Amino acid sequence: MSLTHFDAKGDAHMVDVSDKDITSRIAVAEGHIKMQRETFDIITEGRAKKGDVLGVARLAGIMAAKRTADLIPLCHPLPITKVSVDLEPDETLPGIRISATVKTTGQTGVEMEALTAASTAALTVYDMSKAVDKSMEIGGIRVMLKDGGKSGRYEASE
């Protein structure tokens, strides 16, 4: 195996996907943001001064998925057909668990879009809550599912 974003000379390049079949593609990424209990309560009780933290984070994740090719230098711009971002409060962290699902029909996968959506949603929670908790910790960003294309299906182990 080799890294696909480098040519024979070792120079970075965009992978040529023009010979790949057009197939249905899906990716699911997850992550979380841990916070102080007081911050968790403020968010879940809707007391944040900046407004609906989870609603804004959901929209930010969706918007980020659509702009992934603008952020990641060698990522292909894709016609995304679906993006959903779910944010679930988890008292055991305490914090928010994030799951992002992205779909397309195309010649390359949408893992980067799902990862970008989950990451941006977490960053938005941080941005909207940092006035009360600068110690929040973002983590666990990873691909949970990828399906479609030549490499087939990948599912992360829990």
Q: Would residue 52 show up in a list of annotated catalytic residues for this protein?
A: no
| Distance in angstroms (rounded) separating the CA atoms of residues 40 and 47 | 10
| Residues 6+ positions from 37 with CB-CB distance below 8 Å | 94
- Among candidate residues 11, 21, 90, 127, the one labeled active-site is 127
Catalytic residues: 127
